Every structure is written in structure tokens, then in C-alpha cells.
Amino acid sequence: MTERGKGIVLALMGALLLMKANDCVFSTHAHADTTPTTATTGSVIINEIAWMGTGPSTASDEWIELYNNTDTGIALTGWTLYTADGGMLLPLQGSIPSHGYYLIERTDDQTIRDIPADLTISFGSGLHNAGESLILEDSRGICIDTANGNGGSWPAGTTAPDYCTMERVTPQAPDSDSNWASNNTRIRNGTNAVGLPVNGTPKAPNASCRPNLSVAKTGPLTASMGSRITYHLTLSNTGSTTATAVQLTDTLPAEITFTDEESTPGYSQDGQQITWQIGNLPPGETAHLTLTGDRSRKHHQPDRCSYTIWREHSGGQSRRMADSTGQQTDAAGAHQRPALRWHPTQRRGRGYPAHQYASSPHDAR
């Protein structure tokens, strides 16, 4: 089972922020309706390689995963993936969706038993544990990507006892030894032919390659009756891959009447709740949102600032990861940040690693 999304609930200055983003959009089968697109170098990459197989009794069950870096689906019919020594030659077919995956399994569809492959095919002499150089060419014979292009030992991945896959760290960066890492055995999905967990991430973001979303909100702590308040929200992706279907929701305090909103993304209002549909947020990019409201009735006590961080798991279930509260002053015009701190934790299994989120870039220590 793969994780398909994550969410954050952050209450700040008496308001509730809800942020959702799908980590990936993928298909379990090649799409026949993809519009043919002329590929360029790096548009489709070799993203993950199980050159070691999937376990002690399934060491020959090798698989390879491709990833589409672009916003458009790409037809793969006529493309080839091969090793430099000629021991493996794979003619591809079908297509790969935008920001999606293409899973190639050796011989049959039992290599990853619970995730359908996009292509099952003979790997010829297979992938040598000592190292191989893989080349991905399009239908014109142009090299689109390589893996272990220097032809030396595999830069990542392990054999017994863990059989960890070799994962691309940054999809947008070219092939180099430093851009590969071994699966960490905590973030993983899929089972092998004998039902054991695979230490890899077929058709899911790699353990070392995920969006990292953070949200910051600024505004006055207090305001007199009848005054206008402006809130500024900043949503950032500091991860190494695109966050898709991002949604940000801010629930205004009961004392504030919404008056206006200034931002590019479309928004909707439901009572005190304002929701923006951000869409895709590529790595390194930031969305800036501004909303204003009027203080409509007397505020009797200082605001308490609290936050709760959630991760949305497959099946729509959510799991609380951390929470904190901090008392703020009620001095007019004062702007003090709550002490929001969350130390990352590691959990064995298929969950995301914990990340730190803060109300302001200065809040994370």
C-alpha cells in the first residue's frame, strides 16, 4: 500500500490552517491516451533500480522504475532502456503520465506482487551486482537519461541482508554518484513474490526524494473593534520533487469578518473558512497569499496560539504527529511568534519521516 498524500493542520494567531498535498500522481498501468510529446534530456529519468532483486529467495526478481519530470504525459513506445554491455535491451511501450511512474518488472508481474507493472519483460542476462551502466533513449535514438553512467560499481543499493533499492535523490538533477541513495528501510511499499516487504518505493516517491511543504502566517496578535486586519500566508516547497494537488485552508477567528483576498490561486469561502486550490507546487517555489478581515466584536482575552501537525494516509485516514500550544501577549500591536518546535522522529514502516513546520521561518530551531 502506498501513501498518496499528506496534510498539515496549523492553528496560528487564533486561526486554523489546513494544507493538503498529494506527494505523487501515478498510474498502475501505462496510459494509451497520452498525447505524444517530444522529450528532452531529463524529462523522463531512471528513478529507482532493484539491481539486487527483492530478497534472499528472489534475488533475480529485478525491477526498474522511470519517472516523468514534466507536466505532460509522454509516449514511450519506440523508446529503449539498455545496459552499456548489451546484456539487457528493453523496448518500451505505452506511456508515462505527468509526474508519474512507469514500473518495469523482470519476466512476470510477480516481482512486485501487489503493484501491477507497466511492462513485464525479460532482462536478458540481468543486472550484474558488480555494476552496470543503464541508458534510456527515446524513439529518435537520443539519450534522455543514464544511471550509473560512469560504468563503475553501483553508487547505491545493497544486497543481503536488506536488499535495499538504489533510489534517485533529486529527479531534476543529472545522473551522478552523489545523486543516488539506498532505500532507508523505513519508507517503503510493495511486497515481493513471497509476500515480504520490499525495501524500495515502486510507484511512489523515493525515500530521499519527497516534497517538503511548510506554511508561514503573519498578522497582528490583537486589533481594536472595527479595525481592519491583514494576514499574509506563505506556502513553500523546500523538497526535491513537485507537490501535487496542494490545497490550503485558513479558518478565521470568530471575531474577524472576511472582506477581501489577494492572490493568484482561486479561492472559495464557507463561513469563516477560506480555501485556496494551489495546484502543483514545484521544488523551490513559493505561493504568497493575502487576506483581510474586519474586527467585528470585542475580544475578551489574549489569543492562544496552537498547532497540530497531521499526515494524511491512504484511505483518507489521518494520524496526529505532534502538537503544541504557547501563550501570546495581548499587548496592542505586539507581534510575538509562538515557540513552535518539533523534533523529527523516525518510524519503522511505510510512513513519511517527520518534518518540521513552523509559523515563521525563524520559529524552527
Contacts 24+ apart (CB under 8 A), 173-178: 174/42, 175/46, 175/145, 175/146, 175/147, 175/148, 175/149, 177/148, 177/150, 177/152
Indicate the range of 85-99, 147-161, 271-285 predicted with least confidence: 271-285
Domain boundaries, the chain: 6-23+210-327, 44-182
Mean pLDDT to the nearest integer, 78-92? 97
pLDDT band at 226 (very low <50, low <70, confident <90, very high): confident
User: Which tens digit of pLDDT belongs to each residue from 36-74?
Assistant: 557 899 999 999 999 999 999 999 999 999 999 999 999
Q: What pLDDT was estimated at residue 340?
A: 20
In whole angstroms, what is the distance from residue 103 CA to residue 198 CA? 14
pLDDT digits over 90-119, tens only? 999 999 999 999 999 999 999 999 999 999
Q: Find out whether 27 and 97 touch, Cβ atoms under 8 Å.
A: yes
pLDDT band at 131 (very low <50, low <70, confident <90, very high): very high
Fold annotation for 44-182: Immunoglobulin-like (2.60.40)
Query: Which class in CATH covers the domain with range 6-23+210-327?
Result: mainly beta
Within this chain, domains 6-23+210-327 and 44-182 share the same CATH topology: yes
Confidence tier at 141 by pLDDT (50, 70, 90): very high
State the CB neighbour count (10 A cutoff) for residue 363.
Answer: 16
